[in-house]
A and B are shown apart, each in its own frame.
Chain A
């Protein structure tokens, strides 16, 4: 049976005919720059290696945990994300989705628009710049919010005590300070709707299914009465994801409304640039602004090797 292959865009001939006079010889016009850049890089890296030594701390000791322990720099962005949301989302699912997104870009954007030239669409340069700025700025603001830097802005909440019942309007326990980060929505916020108390578990009864009152596959709960910690799900998963994807969608929509984003290619530019810029911003925060206990500190206060014996000055 013949399989019909449907394509949105007619595929161009694999080897488009070339004009001979448009072409240059690989030797010397390509090999020469390649050779020069290789020599330059080799030279630079040898110089670097002569003057800067690769780090070698004390021998590994499972009993002495350095504070902070840091992943290699290109994973510090994930380690940074861990501070703000559920670890499965931060460490596995979001990066996995990012790689998947990268892989499917060419299958979503199949036009030939702007192919083979830098920033080929009409507004691509400004889209890229605006997106990069937007993403980095927002990433920074969110990091600062979770570090409690905007605590003053949320002081409008009334205060209440830990053990009091049935709160309305929503109130904060533990003093007059505002929210010191999104996770305080879980630890300090209290309110009640009907007989549901934030942040208590919400019991969701399910009928028996063919004699099973409960069904599990490993630690995956398939059927049976559920105790859902609504507050944890909201704070660890829903809110961060709505922020991540919502802000991206908002930017695409905004740029579309003002007419800068016009085609699928433009949308891809926004999403790619946004993801890469946030990735960069998170890497920078994780590398230079996280000290002991993953506290947000200025880079000048950084101490890296507190795991060595004897501990260098400035270590706890």
Chain B
């Protein structure tokens, strides 16, 4: 990058600035530590850009080239990607919330109240977790509608659509199980409505209530079940299914387009 072919003094302030800029750039990006993390500089040729996408662990979810119709934002509106992004924010904020929350009916509510008032950025983290959860539910519906109205479930993508339906269901379940955790009046009565709905399953109502809610009323059993599912079981399952989902998008030849 830096060019020192003219050893003489800079002639004006623009040249002086350019020299300082190049030195700064060198200091920041051409040092031993930076180069140990990123082996090459900014990829400014098409060849290097493809190489980065193919070899970077985070970027390699993508192909290196896509059809130009799919690069238009109006084809996907980035909805699937944004759903995934919500999932990431939820994981990060969720881990932070877990530091302060104990799923015990006698202290869950106090923990949340304390988190809001005593913990620096606690309220912000809780708000972010709540609003992005709602965001994810809305986005997953919108993503499904975009896939449907672009006819992208057609062969060979049938099964990826089915994986998507499972992800939709899991997203709703993750949101629902999280709803109980603050253990306030909103939480237990909303889950009580769900408990009633589960109990109305024909012939298996009692079993459904036992398995999902741990009993015939919303108490400690329900709380620990919902907590475990919410922080571990459902996100893990979703992450696996998302991996399958993304893999299938690639294996099915990228996004759908007219044959």
Contact = CB atoms under 8 A, between A and B. Distances in A.
Interface string A45-72: 1101110111111111110111001111
B67 A22 contact: yes
Interface residues of B, number: 97
B118 interface: no
B162 A106 contact: yes
A72 B186 CA distance: 9
Contact of A24 (B59, B65, B116): B65
A169 B194 CA distance: 42
Interface of A: 9, 11-12, 14-16, 18, 20, 22-31, 33-34, 37-38, 41-42, 45-46, 48-50, 52-62, 64-66, 69-75, 78-79, 82, 87-88, 90-93, 99, 102-103, 105-107, 109-120, 124, 128, 218-220, 265, 269, 272, 276, 305, 307-308
A53 B127 contact: yes
Contacts of A103: 161-162, 165
A11 B155 contact: yes
A90 B194 CA distance: 12
A6 to B, nearest CB: 14
Given A22-B67, A116-B151, A118-B149, A33 B112 contact: no
Given A23-B68, A61-B185, A54 B126 contact: yes
Contacts of B184: 55-60
A22 B65 CA distance: 10
B137 interface: yes
B51 to A, nearest CB: 9
B186 to A, nearest CB: 5
B63 to A, nearest CB: 6
A102 to B, nearest CB: 5
B253 A14 contact: yes
A111 B258 CA distance: 12
A198 to B, nearest CB: 25
Contacts of B224: none
B210 interface: no
Contacts of A22: 67-68
Nearest to A79: B193
A9 B184 CA distance: 54
